[in-house]
Structure 1
């Protein structure tokens, strides 16, 4: 087994590589990482190839002898590079895979931006059969094009592939900074879009956490997944015949309720909250298919995600690094 991993140096990629290289059940697997802007030192069973995924020659070299592809490389709201990575890069990977004499499985790691996460409304839980409704922006468009391109290769060429669609991925103390009114806030929504600069400064000084309210006036419910649970799902899907030409939602069993978050922090950390009215929609990314088909279940629930994030203490050699702004 030779597994090509794109996006190997990112938040998910690093945890995935550690698992592939350390878990006994994958002791027979060799890993090849295709790296572009960042790299890592090679080690036993890990080979590094440098170059752009948009370069056909680089992709064909990276695909030589590969049996399994785990494609995670992406860019966020960057119209200058999004199509090169998500369209051209995906195309070259799929073209090399479909004619490969060794290729066995192509796995795409997608995102809930293709169903609009909290921007687009749904009147029922979002399943793998729900209509795609990406929110505005090049990132959501690029992830939608990846999913559709993969599905077309099922139809046109009959390849064995699957897509794992995840929501916002948390690790370490990420969720603590999701709730910050300070300059260290991680991800969206940017508070300046919803409250005045004066209120933001005051809330930060008072040590308050946001209780986000959705468009119906109830606490917002938003989907998350912990990086360890996503990696567990990837490994459950890897070389699994049940995944053939399938799409799976990979998320917590229920969305995070900001009302419950505020209550948890008041109880365990004596932190007060403040209501923040938003135009967002509460949605539920249903993971039933993944739990049934893959035998996978997330281990990180709301209480643990909150508790772990606020208790996390970083070592001196572990500076906070924001891979993408969220």
Structure 2
């Protein structure tokens, strides 16, 4: 009864593999270990979090390789977390998003359809809410006004999964993640960027003059939501395709977020205020009632508890002069 996890060397993927393996699941992973950020971090992450999991080096665009893997391991459930991430990078390299998030997602849908996969759980993003969003963001709100190509590809994934559910009976669940953080996180995101800079005495860029609010969500809460969605039993009363927010439903002001990092690091931040970045959203806030009702999702980690371990991990992993 194999569970296949894509993006298994990624931040959320490695923690998901760890949690699945810890409860006795037979887990196979795949990851292309691309250089969007240093692949050494991905390999170290796997060694630290899920060394016992068999992770294959494979790209989502490799249809023959993916088909061979599905034929070999015959996954019953798939957690599809692999994607080209990053709002700002989508402004620089749009073709990477087409290859991974669109072509790669179709490849995964086709393999799940023909491979008899019972449940596909896939990563969407809070970015899909775009200019139509009114906090708190609920799953009923429109997602047809994205602020970036990255957001557009994630919204497209939801439409593609819906169409496969209706056409072929492929059961799929999309999860809209809200600003995930934790030790071993992505080095291009604010929690690690800010923590490393403060520890090293470098200035940090604070966009929109600091007037930003984010629904920062600890990776342990996200993984609990992934497993809850994955385990939700099939039934006649459930739609074949469903979408859920996974967030902390408590937006945090950026200045407060930086203050927690300063306190954990023991030094003040050198802040350089900048105007709003193209593609960014001023505020994100998840309405998580649907996930709570469906599978008991209940985030438990405030930034005061979850952020200091990130700072301490950065100090240990990267060193004070990273």
Residue by residue over 1:244-295, the C-alpha shift from the partner in whole angstroms, topping out at 9 and shown as x without a partner, is 5211100113111235446657888584797947555333221121122111
Deviation sequence 1:175-214 (CA, Å, 0-9, x none): 65454695999xxxxxxxxxxxxxxxxxx67x89959657
User: How far apart, in 2, do the equivalents of 1:75 and 1:236 lie?
Assistant: 24
2:10 alignment counterpart: 10
Is 2:28 the partner of 1:32? yes
For residues 312 and 113 of structure 1, the distance between their equivalents in structure 2, rounded to whole angstroms, comes to: 27
Q: 1:52 aligns with which of 25, 42, 59?
A: 59
User: What CA distance in whole angstroms lies between the structure 1 residues aligned with 2:245 and 2:275?
Assistant: 25
Which moved further from structure 2: 163-172 or 77-86? 77-86
- The answer on whether the counterparts of 1:236 and 1:295 sit within 8 Å (CA) in structure 2 is yes
Paired residues of 2:125 and 2:177 also in contact (CA < 8 A): yes
- Separation in 2, partners of 1:210, 1:253: 23
Q: For the aligned residues, what is the CA RMSD? A: 3.5
Q: Pick the aligned partner of 1:239 from 220, 231, 256.
A: 231
List gaps (5 residues or longer) in structure 1.
Answer: 186-203, 321-326
Do structure 1's residue 112 and structure 2's residue 119 form an aligned pair?
Answer: no
Q: Which residue of 2 aligns with 1:19?
A: 19
Aligned CA distance change for structure 1 residues 273 and 210 (closer, same or farther; 3 Å): farther
Residues 35 and 180 of structure 1, relative CA distance in 2, 3 Å threshold: closer
Q: Which residue is 2:213 aligned to?
A: 221
Inter-partner Cα distance in structure 2 for 1:277 and 1:50: 39
> Contact 2:125 / 2:178 at 8 angstroms: preserved in 1?
yes
Change (3 A) 1:179 1:152: same
The aligned residue for residue 37 of structure 2 is none
Aligned counterparts of 1:84 and 1:278: Cα–Cα separation in 2? 31
| Cα deviation digits, residues 20-44 of structure 1 (max 9, x gap) | 1123xxx1x2112123236768x99
What is the CA distance between 1:81 and its match in structure 2? 2.5
Point out the structure with max Rg over C-alpha: 1
> More displaced, 4-13 or 70-79?
70-79
Contact 1:2 1:30 in 2 (8 A): yes
1:89 to 91, 104, 108: 104
Number of aligned residue pairs: give it: 286
Decide whether the 8 Å contact of 1:209 with 1:262 is kept in 2: no
Would you say the 8 A contact 2:181–2:191 is kept in 1? Answer: no
Q: Given the superposition, is the C-alpha separation of residues 274 and 314 from structure 1 closer, same or farther in structure 2, using an over 3 Å criterion?
A: closer
Q: CA deviation at 1:99?
A: 2.4
The Cα of 1:48 is off from its aligned counterpart by: 3.6
Deviation at 1:131?
A: 0.8
For the structure 1 residues 86 and 181, does the alpha-carbon distance in structure 2 shift closer, same or farther, using more than 3 Å as the test?
A: closer
Task: Give the aligned partner of residue 324 of structure 1.
Answer: none
Offset of residue 134 of structure 1: 5.2
1:99 counterpart = 2:114: yes
Q: In 1, distance between residues paired with 2:204 and 2:7?
A: 35
Aligned-partner SS, 2:19: helix
2:309 aligned partner: 308
In 2, distance between residues paired with 1:173 and 1:21?
18
Judged with a 3 Å threshold, the aligned counterparts in structure 2 of structure 1 residues 300 and 70 are, in CA distance, closer, same or farther, namely same
CA deviation profile, 1:196-249 (whole Å, cap 9, x unmatched): xxxxxxxx67x89959657xxxx5321221112111111111231267521110
Q: Is the 8 A contact 2:204 2:272 kept in 1?
A: no
